[in-house]
Amino acid sequence: LAKTTQPVSMDSYEGQEVNITCSHNNIATNDYITWYQQFPSQGPRFIIQGYKTKVTNEVASLFIPADRKSSTLSLPRVSLSDTAVYYCLVGDRISGNTGKLIFGQGTTLQVKP
């Protein structure tokens, strides 16, 4: 299973763009990269998922280089409500595999006024 490594914490200010990078050096060919957001006392919430290059949705962008050994979650113009813990997961979409999805340590993002 690919192990993920993220910065423990990051600080930002309202209105800034925030980029959180996740390393997954042992990512396998079939693995997809998924990012989650978690607020205190709530379950994690799906943000975005990608396999390679760039994916964008209404809340974030995900950049994945050609070697796929890392990925970067980009949050445009953060607000105070984006203060949360962000996790990246690496998982295999091919049915028949173990289905294990292991969380890394996560990145605590603190957005300041």
Partner 1 sequence: DAMVIQNPRYQVTQFGKPVTLSCSQTLNHNVMYWYQQKSSQAPKLLFHYYDKDFNNEADTPDNFQSRRPNTSFCFLDIRSPGLGDAAMYLCATSGKRGTGELFFGEGSRLTVL
Residues near partner 1 (CB under 8 A) are: 32-34, 36, 41-46, 49, 87, 89-106
Pairing of strands 45-50, 61-64: unpaired
Compare residues 17 and 94 and give the one whose CB is closer to partner 1. 94
Q: How many CB atoms lie within 10 A of CB 95?
A: 6
User: How far apart, in whole angstroms, are the C-alpha atoms of residue 72 and residue 24?
Assistant: 11
Compare residues 13 and 46 and give the one whose CB is closer to partner 1. 46
**CB 18 to partner 1: min, Å:** 20
**CB 48 to partner 1: min, Å:** 10
**CB 91 to partner 1: min, Å:** 4
Q: How far is CA 93 from CA 16, 69, 99, 101, in A?
A: 33, 17, 8, 11
Compare residues 81 and 95 and give the one whose CB is closer to partner 1. 95
